[in-house]
């Protein structure tokens, strides 16, 4: 079986080490195939314009391809700026955004249930 998470990086510089595959398996299960693109502002904005008709720099975008396959674009640069703004580490912010994207792929919408589910997973992995 191929890996659950295929990670591509389009940015330069270090990215905090996060158990991306373990988090995906915890949220989506072992048979889900996920493509994760760690990107910067430009690519995230281009994807946002092309698929959502919005011009701002998003922090995370999730696209369900089918019931067992999806893609997440995680804007690491925006996450780093937000981490400074919110007084958390870049690792914590990136992990939260990634988990947020995973729960969107699982079908959850914004709200209290999603926030509770995110917090539970982040606590389990020591990322809150």
Span 26-75, pLDDT tens digits: 999 999 999 999 999 999 999 999 999 999 999 999 999 999 999 999 99
pLDDT for 4 beyond 90? no
For the chain, which domains are there?
5-124 (3.40.390.30)
Cβ(38)–Cβ(11) below 8 Å: yes
- Give me the mean pLDDT over the 90-101 stretch: 98
Q: Residue 61 contacts by C-beta under 8 Å, 6 or more apart in sequence?
A: 44, 47, 48, 51, 52, 72, 73, 101
1 or 128, greater pLDDT: 128
Of the pLDDT bands very low, low, confident and very high (cuts 50, 70, 90), residue 3 is low
Q: What is the pTM of this model?
A: 0.95
């Amino acid at each position: 079986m191929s890996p659950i998470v295929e990670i591509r990086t389009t940015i330069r510089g270090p990215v905090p080490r996060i158990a991306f595959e373990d988090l995906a398996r915890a949220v989506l299960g072992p048979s889900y195939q996920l493509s994760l693109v760690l990107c910067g502002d430009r690519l995230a904005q281009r994807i946002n314009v092309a698929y959502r008709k919005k011009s701002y720099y998003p922090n995370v975008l999730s696209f369900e391809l089918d019931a067992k396959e999806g893609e997440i674009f995680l804007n690491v640069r925006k996450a780093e700026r937000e981490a400074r703004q919110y007084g958390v580490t870049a690792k914590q912010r990136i992990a939260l955004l990634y988990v947020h994207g995973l729960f969107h792929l699982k079908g959850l919408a914004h709200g209290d249930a999603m926030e509770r589910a995110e917090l539970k997973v982040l606590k389990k992995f020591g990322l809150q």
